[in-house]
Amino acid sequence: MTTPTGAKKPLYANPTAQVLFAVAAAVVLGYFRPATAMAMKPLGDGFIRLITMIITLIIFCTVVTGIAGMEDMKKVGRVGGKALVYFEVVSTLALMIGLCVGNFVRPGDGFNVNPATLDLKAVADYAGQAKAQSVSDFALHIIPTSVVDAFAKGDILEVLLISILFGFAVSAIGPRSKPLRDLFDALTHAVFGVVNIVMKLAPVGAFGAMAFTVGKFGLSSLGPLLKLIVTFYLTSLLFVLLVLGLISSACGFSILRFLRYIKEEIVLVLAVSSSEPAMPTLMAKLEKLGCSKALVGLIVPTGYTFNTDGTSMYMTLAALFVAQATGTHLTLMQQLTILAVAILTSKGASGVQGASFIALVGTLMVIPAIPVAGMALILGIDRFMSMCRATVNMIGNGVATVVVARWEKEVDGPTLEKNLAAQ
């Protein structure tokens, strides 16, 4: 990494190195001084809130200026349609992979846990938040009660709907909307300026989040469930390298170069166990690769809800683990039911911490044979699993955006590879 003058940038000034050092320091503190490490939680929470407070504004400005600047309005619908088809196919494939790996590796065998001895109170709060959601309920949830409410709650899908409608409206006005487009364009640059300032605190946020995780749950808690953790991490790694790698290769770019390109975002998401803090910088990097602002603004936020590959693999794998650990035999039909229910419940389990666990509890509640109390077995390691889930979700959304941009011929293969290599 070099400075504009050509001099090599010192290691301590490298953002990735800073975050990695902070994570290492947090692990050491969490191991030797758990109580002190748990007190660092506000540092992580504060950093995440600093980023999430402006995500909705970024989405609104990016989508509105992107759509308003498009000459072909049909492209917006075409891009959205292609993205949704891609999301559904790849996330369903991830669900099936989790199911197959769970049946093949059987990480829950040997536990022989009696469900009656488990602490149901530990998952009672999650069970209370989990509820059956029909397709119509999900569709209605996208529509906010008011414009202000959508931004106040920070609901990405609701803000995206408002942004798309507003973008079409601004575009329909024609030349008279130019002052408004210029205003939003300037506001977008200002908001990303705020992101650049906040990202200076990424090492502090990573330190606080990781210190709390290790301090509260402890590295010793990983031992009894090491087989499940290793199985999930290896499955996720193979999914990224093989499945997303094949998709990337078919679209003319290398998955390894892409991973290197977004290495700062990967390290950050691993540290804070949430993919949302990486969204602003991921969107900016995708635009630098040649993807249009409108396409990035449409696909990335939508993908955070509809394209949760890591969450999908986790849900089916964890469901089988709970069944195996409690000695619950599942028929093929019951496993297919889990798959079908998870297709819906996995939507909305985005980068927010705990959302995937709630979605999994909601899925298990549909299969009475599996004791929901069994979720207490993996509650203690959920934060460690969340690191991997969120990272795969973020990588999957980045790949999806580039793939659709290639389908739309916004950037050709050689140019894309050149941009990845240059960065």
Most confident of the following: 229-233, 328-332, 410-414: 229-233
pLDDT of residue 123: 58
Rounded to an integer, the average pLDDT of 59-72 is 77
Q: What is the spatial distance between Cα 245 and Cα 258, in angstroms, rounded to a whole number?
A: 10
pLDDT of residue 237: 95
pLDDT of residue 159: 84
Q: Residue 94 pLDDT > 90, yes or no?
A: yes
* Per-residue pLDDT reduced to its tens digit, 356-365: 666 777 777 7
Rounded to an integer, the average pLDDT of 160-186 is 83
Rounded to an integer, the average pLDDT of 255-272 is 90
More confident residue, 362 or 239: 239
Q: Residue 59 pLDDT > 50, yes or no?
A: yes
Q: Kindly report the three-state secondary structure assignment for every residue of the chain.
A: CECCCCCECCHHHCHHHHHHHHHHHHHHHHHHCHHHHHCCHHHHHHHHHHHHHHHHHHHHHHHHHHHHCCCCCHHHHHHHHHHHHHHHHHHHHHHHHHHHHHHHHCCCCCCCCCHHHCCCHHHHHHHHHCCCCCHHHHHHHHCCCCHHHHHHHCCHHHHHHHHHHHHHHHHHHHHHHHHHHHHHHHHHHHHHHHHHHHHHHHHHHHHHHHHHHHHHHCHHHHCCCHHHHHHHHHHHHHHHHHHHHHHHHHCCCCHHHHHHHCHHHHHHHHHHCCCHHHHHHHHHHHHHHCCCHHHHHHHHHHHHHHCCHHHHHHHHHHHHHHHHHCCCCCCHHHHHHHHHHHHHHCCCCCCCCCHHHHHHHHHHCCCCCCCHHHHHHHHCCHHHHHHHHHHHHHHHHHHHHHHHHHHCCCCCHHHHHHHHHHC
- Confidence tier at 20 by pLDDT (50, 70, 90): confident
Q: Residue 125 pLDDT > 90, yes or no?
A: no
Q: Residue 113 pLDDT > 50, yes or no?
A: yes
pLDDT of residue 18: 81
* CATH, domain range 11-422: 1.10.3860.10
Residue 132, token pair as written in the block: 């059956």
pLDDT of residue 242: 95
pTM above 0.75, yes or no: yes
**Which of 142-156, 215-229, 305-319, 382-396 has the least mean pLDDT?**
215-229
**For the chain, what are the domain ranges?**
11-422
* Per-residue pLDDT reduced to its tens digit, 266-323: 988 888 878 888 888 898 899 888 888 888 888 888 888 788 898 889 889 988 988 8
Residue 337, token pair as written in the block: 């039911």
Q: Residue 367 pLDDT > 80, yes or no?
A: no
- Confidence tier at 383 by pLDDT (50, 70, 90): confident
Q: Residue 155 pLDDT > 70, yes or no?
A: yes
- Confidence tier at 11 by pLDDT (50, 70, 90): low
